[in-house]
Amino acid sequence: MAGRRGLTTLNLTFLGTASAQPSSTRNHSALALRLNADVWLFDCGEATQHQIQRSNVKMGKIEKIFITHTHGDHIFGLLPLLASRLNGAGGTADGVEDPRIHMVQGDPIEIYGPLGTRAYIRNGLTYTHTLLGAPYVVHELRLPSDPSDGDHTSLPPHVSELPNGRNIPQTNGVWPDVYHDNIVSVAAAPILHSVPCVGYVVTEAPVPGKMNPVKYIPDLKRTKTAMSVMSRLQQGESVELSDGTILHGPPRRPGRKLAILGDTYDPSSIAELASSADLLIHEATNAHLPTLDPNTKVEDTFESVEARTKSRGHSTPQMAGAFATRIGARQLVLNHFSARYPGNDHIDPVAKSMMEAIARLGGEHYGGKITCARDFMSFDVNIPEEHV
């Protein structure tokens, strides 16, 4: 298992926050999670690579891509991004052999997603004659109703596709171990949408506890122990001194937990995995904003808007707030907005009042901090003081 260094930085950058239609202020869905310098993408809508170029996320650092579902607004940007990230090209004319027609070595990009993710990538790369300069591998999260093996396509693997892509079955209705290393793990669960869709939970391993170095100093001085043992104590170790005294480092405390959901009208199945998340990212595609949204129909009510939103597989801000309360999330970020809701609320007062109203609706059922995502919004997720 790969060794990863402890996370000094856990940063989220929203690259696209639109639902079905992009607008001049919101691109299609994509989210970059930075773990120190490494980048994990969640969804990859159309033009995600353009958004990356306009952000401070480094394309060359993308090591994993997690797809929530295969709707186009979440996956249409994947093939062009892979071609750019993996030095792709369309072959050569005049008989000169392109070395990329053979499997090229290197660390693969790992892609996770529901059934169809592998077939989509394989077919897209094959029919566009795209050659890649590095390998990729696709692991699929299979539902009980899916075939348990096979690739869901009759095409043979693309030359750059590694053969060790897993088909991950559920355990008790969820995928408890999609990925893990020594520092971070990923679990997933199906969430209800109009097509198979998943939510991901990223959990950091327990981190060193808070240490008060002063309390150790008298013992260390008395026994002439090097102060460098402080670093072992900080890691939670116990250290025996020359006179037999044993010093105990502070116990480790829980790491950070992020719940990143795809489109949904009911994410109940992920409630347990996402319990007490430090941050919940939940869609809020439509809201009832009668005085602010000029597209509001006269006959619209809160109930009719919610019923229509649900019937399309989506949520209102109130539904997102209620779920945040249900799982005890410390913070809620609303995401995946209809093109009706502009994403330039940091500079446009009309957009600002609209997004503030959406956040207030979310707050009807949730008392924690609510933020409405906008493209290029970026922030660090820190370990809360309460984690003891």
What are the residues binding Zn ion (CB under 5 A)? Answer: 71, 73, 263
Please give the angle made by the CA atoms of 269, 274 and 277, to the nearest 5 degrees: 155
- Compute the least distance from the CB of residue 28 to Zn ion, in Å: 8
Pick the closer one to Zn ion by CB: 263 or 375.
Answer: 263
**Residue 371, beta-bridge partner list:** 333
> Which of the following is catalytic: 38, 43, 73, 94?
73
Pick the closer one to Zn ion by CB: 225 or 286.
Answer: 286
- Compute the least distance from the CB of residue 376 to Zn ion, in Å: 19
- Compute the least distance from the CB of residue 43 to Zn ion, in Å: 8
- Compute the least distance from the CB of residue 263 to Zn ion, in Å: 4
What DSSP line would sit under 94-160, residue for residue? Answer: TTPPPGGGSPPPSPPEEEEEETTHHHHHHHHHHHTT-B-SS-EEEEEE--TTS-SSS-SSSSPPPTT
Pick the closer one to Zn ion by CB: 71 or 256.
Answer: 71
Pick the closer one to Zn ion by CB: 130 or 338.
Answer: 338
- Compute the least distance from the CB of residue 285 to Zn ion, in Å: 8
Is 73 annotated in the active site? yes
Q: Are strands 197-204 and 238-240 parallel, antiparallel or unpaired?
A: unpaired
- State the DSSP code for 34: E
Closest residue by Cα to residue 337 from 29, 11, 49, 74: 29
Pick the closer one to Zn ion by CB: 86 or 358.
Answer: 358
The three-state secondary structure class of 371 is strand
Distance separating alpha carbons of residues 301 and 304, to the nearest angstrom: 5
**Residue 16, beta-bridge partner list:** 30
- State the DSSP code for 342: -
Q: Supply the residues annotated as catalytic.
A: 73
